[in-house]
Structure 1
Amino acid sequence: MASKFVLLSLVVLAVLSSGCTGPREDGAGPSREAVEMAVTAEWAPDGVISEGEYARKISLSGGIFEVFWKNDAETLYMAIKGETGGWVSIGFDPSVWMRDADIVIGYVDDEGEVYARDAYSTGNYGPHPPDTDLGGTDDLLEYGGSEKDGFTVIEFKRKMETGDEFDRALRSGETVNIIWGISYSDDPERRHQRAGKGKVTFM
């Protein structure tokens, strides 16, 4: 009996230490209204959210996670910023918890190299493999990032409608549910430590 309990404990520990199991969330209530900003600067995927670079911003969970964006009918430009030295992620339009979310996840490694993944959540709590592993395509046209003062920033560009079945088709004027997550690890297979929900409305 004792050996069965030990085995069960080891299995639970292994599950909790990997993937995005469990619905732990922050800021699951109504998200703050988007702040409108004048676009006066060119977009650059340099990991620096410059004044005038984005048209809208939302701050979630007291600023633990922020989303900046602008778009036209064809292209989305977005920055995600999380209070962590690990990975940050955003998911568009999940069906249940994380399932079916069109996800972008990125991090900056110890050498300063930036990585970003066009991913898709196949289950309620992950996993979220790259679209290319599922037969889709990598539709991040450009990306960059930075890690500074306890925050990680990932900026990326993609088409509003990529034609990939693992990407959510986005349209001007619509409001889309989002999920977000941050981890204290750079390993995108490790579980998030903070997560939540929000909404973004495209221009």
Structure 2
Amino acid sequence: MRTGTMAAVVFVAALCILVPVPFHSHAAAAAVPVLDAEIAEGEYAHSASFSSGAFNLLWQVEGDLAFFAMVARTGGYLGVGFEPELMMKDADMVVGWVEANGSAFVHDSYSMDSFGPVFRDVDLGGTDDLLGFSGQMRDGVVTIEFCRPLSTDDAYDNDIPREGKTKVIWAVGSELDPASLPSNAGVGVIDMSSGGTESAWDASTFYVPGLALALGLALASVLLAHRSGRAHSFLGAASALSLLGTGLPALIFSPGTSALGPWGIIAPLALLLAAAAMGGLAWLGAWNRRWERAHLWMALAALACLALALLTALSI
């Protein structure tokens, strides 16, 4: 079982696999957008619809300025982040919401870590570099518009390219408090000049079940050596069910082409390997010890797929 322990240690450094989030882009000729929370047809040059319309982002570059609009059906906040390092870490965020009295609040913000928290730039010693914003809620749909320079001198802002691709993250909250967990979120890659878009990955879905799988393998060498494998079996079963329960719905209901191309096969492959390793082969091993080795190697293969998916995703 030493092999299992070493693989688990390697995986803990990776921790999670990423799940594809599909979206579609549209482009049209446009004049300079007006920040009035009213989106006229063709007002923005480019737009992208994320997660089957759960979040819509529109954008246009004019000189040294970038105009954006966020649109989603919600009673809570909307957020978009530019150029995160991994998940939310170091993302240049803009978060906005509309109060019940119609007042709109939009903040230039920054995400400190992979899972937040998100702070206003001014609270971190930076500056609010939004040059203007507006927001409204109508018929359950929130619209937030804002304008900012492509480049600032603020340490808590990331440059937005005039041309070419930029990675974005987005979130829709069911509550007005931006510190609350989002009800929907995702990742995308947009082209600021052409309007082209690509699928990207969100690194949080398999975080906990993947860690449980790694711990199950690591503990196996200790627990089974003392003929106390219940904890190992529990962790293995829990991780397999979690992987299937969180991963399969994402794969079924979020189809799309992976930004990593052929690497997209890693996600379903890892799920199948994990299910086989934690389920069928473990059951067979109870009847015939020859299957125990197959159970181990299938689990190791699942971990390798999970870790490889993360490493390849870091190149986005």
Scaled by the length of structure 1, the TM-score of the pair is: 0.82
Pairing partner for 1:61 from 34, 41, 51: 51
Pairing partner for 2:87 from 65, 84, 97: 97
Q: How many angstroms apart in 2 are the aligned matches of 1:70 and 1:31? A: 21
Does the 8 A contact of 2:21 with 2:186 survive in 1? no
Counterpart of 1:34 in 2: which secondary structure? strand
Counterpart of 1:133 in 2: which secondary structure? helix
Q: How many angstroms apart in 1 are the aligned matches of 2:91 and 2:167? A: 10
Q: How many angstroms apart in 1 are the aligned matches of 2:141 and 2:160? A: 27
Amino acid at match of 2:44: Y
Is 1:86 matched up with 2:86? Answer: no
**Aligned twin of 1:184:** 174
Does the 8 A contact of 2:77 with 2:174 survive in 1? yes
Identity %: 34
Q: Which runs of 5 or more structure 1 residues have no equivalent in the other structure? A: 1-22
Per the alignment, do residues 42 and 93 of structure 1 end up closer, same or farther by CA in structure 2, a change over 3 Å counting?
A: closer
Alpha-carbon shift at residue 96 of structure 1 (Å) = 1.2
The CA deviation string for residues 120-178 of structure 1, in whole angstroms up to 9 with x for no partner, is 00011111100111111000110001111222110000000012111111121121111
Alpha-carbon shift at residue 73 of structure 1 (Å) = 3.9
**Aligned twin of 1:52:** 42
Query: Which residues in structure 2 correspond to 1:156-171 (within 5 Å)?
Result: 156-171=146-161
Is 1:107 matched up with 2:102? Answer: no
The CA deviation string for residues 44-103 of structure 1, in whole angstroms up to 9 with x for no partner, is 211111112100000011001000010034000000111211100001111111010000
Counterpart of 1:62 in 2: which secondary structure? coil
Q: Which has the higher contact order (CA 8 A, sep 6+)?
A: 1
Is 1:136 matched up with 2:126? Answer: yes
Is 1:29 matched up with 2:23? Answer: no
What is the count of residue pairs matched by the alignment? 177
Does the 8 A contact of 1:73 with 1:171 survive in 2? no
Which structure: greater helix fraction? 2
Amino acid at match of 1:77: F
Scaled by the length of structure 2, the TM-score of the pair is: 0.54
Of residues 164-173 and 28-37 in structure 1, the stretch that sits farther from structure 2 once superposed is 28-37
Amino acid at match of 1:44: V
Which has the greater radius of gyration?
A: 2
Amino acid at match of 1:178: V
